Structure 1
């Protein structure tokens, strides 16, 4: 699914709220009540809404939960509830492909990063971020034994949380057993772009073979769903075997990943 306020809020952890979305609702209740009763202090507001006065005080004094701030940032960028047929949804799904195939989302910070490859240039990765409205910088370009990464310069943690809300994992991706459902929610042309980006990141060619090999360290269910996406967007032959996919030369030409 595309990211929503609810799914974004639930990427935040909170010791006081088993469901972080409830904190967003409580914050909104406090702000609405305070707007209607501007002379009421924290104790009266807390009693009226059955909330601890200490929690209410911070919100009355201009404090804001991180989840609420994140939702506002996502709204400002147009990331929440985009029409699946929209350019925003397409841009988010294409960035999702870059992250799943050639990048990661940090477990602690939720910051996304994408490593360019032989077929995927730094310019293309930067454009993928810019299409969702964030500027980027290059990280580790001069650091030995570290992959060069393209990362956002602003709103990156909220963008990463939106991608997680869409189905991307944080940290290691080896346990990801299904493609994000949003891939099937967008138009076929966007799904084709998702597949092309994924194969361009992960595809390998051998001098003695005309096929393209996509090696994926994922459960077989993920690999099978990736093949289903390829079967949906191209007519030529794609097969699964040995923890990966084999794409015929004709299929590679049809997909545009020769």
Structure 2
């Protein structure tokens, strides 16, 4: 299941390596060779591994490539290739829903931010980060005209890159043409959690009606998948679609806990 070490590494760009994962592999090869040959210098290591000594030198002197550092951090947190039925997978999927429906990931820094809403308060968003052992801070709480946002204060960029590897949009949310396939990799109960979080952010109440609607500027394929996912997650009620508008009946909304 995403994210994996490979897809996380590939969220980076590199001037030398076309595939940043290969940089992680070479870095690990250097460390392994040096551990087995502690007296070997950069030239010997480079020749043995067919790498430039200038590239090897920094790694032998404790320099860690950014992709390798990110992979190490994510592995320590248990975020890589999580068990789809486990708590980490559920926490990642829930946070993915928060970001897609009510947040963003910075184009330059990959830091995720999730905005509060009428149904989603600071404590709930902070709880989603806490499930992944990530501390948070509040942004824009006292700024007029700006939504209050919860942002991670620890391992922020690595977590954001993990979410991008899972299919979260990097930058504008309108770039998302389909629901991330990873949502289908988890059990129905976890998919239901994704749907509930999504609806808390995006579902709109209707005047004098108990039904809810979702209206977004996204491709039709996205709405087809979203409607199907909501319909499958609701044990009762109807979920219908008309173009880029999804209507959730009052019964379905109550069943999903978002009425």
How would you bin the TM-score normalised by the shorter chain? over 0.9
Question: Which residue of the partner structure matches residue 52 of structure 1?
Answer: 52
Question: Which residue of the partner structure matches residue 249 of structure 1?
Answer: 250
* Counterparts of 2:192 and 2:217, CA distance in 1: 22
Pairwise CA distance, 1:209? 2.5
* Counterparts of 2:250 and 2:160, CA distance in 1: 35
* Counterparts of 2:115 and 2:209, CA distance in 1: 26
Residues matched between the structures, number: 258
TM-score between both structures, scaled by the size of structure 2 = 0.97
Question: Which residue of the partner structure matches residue 139 of structure 1?
Answer: 139
TM-score between both structures, scaled by the size of structure 1 = 0.97
* Counterparts of 2:170 and 2:227, CA distance in 1: 23
Instruction: Answer whether contact 1:116 1:149 (CA < 8 A) is retained.
Output: yes
Q: Could you list the runs of 5+ residues in structure 2 that have no partner in the other structure?
A: none
2:142 partner SS: coil
Pairwise CA distance, 1:148? 1.2
RMSD: 1.0
Question: Which residue of the partner structure matches residue 206 of structure 2?
Answer: 206
Instruction: Answer whether contact 1:2 1:84 (CA < 8 A) is retained.
Output: no
Instruction: Answer whether contact 1:175 1:219 (CA < 8 A) is retained.
Output: no
Instruction: Answer whether contact 2:220 2:243 (CA < 8 A) is retained.
Output: no
Correspondence 1:122 to 2:112: no
Question: Which residue of the partner structure matches residue 164 of structure 1?
Answer: 164
* Counterparts of 1:244 and 1:55, CA distance in 2: 53
* Counterparts of 2:17 and 2:170, CA distance in 1: 22
Question: Which residue of the partner structure matches residue 240 of structure 1?
Answer: 241
Question: Which residue of the partner structure matches residue 231 of structure 2?
Answer: 231
Correspondence 1:10 to 2:7: no
The Cα offsets for residues 129-188 of structure 1, whole Å up to 9 and x where unpaired, read as: 101110111001112222210000110110001111111011001121111111111111
* Counterparts of 1:232 and 1:207, CA distance in 2: 26
The Cα offsets for residues 66-94 of structure 1, whole Å up to 9 and x where unpaired, read as: 11111111011110111100011001000
* Counterparts of 2:255 and 2:58, CA distance in 1: 58
Question: Which residue of the partner structure matches residue 190 of structure 1?
Answer: 190
Pairwise CA distance, 1:242? 4.0
Instruction: Answer whether contact 1:205 1:212 (CA < 8 A) is retained.
Output: yes
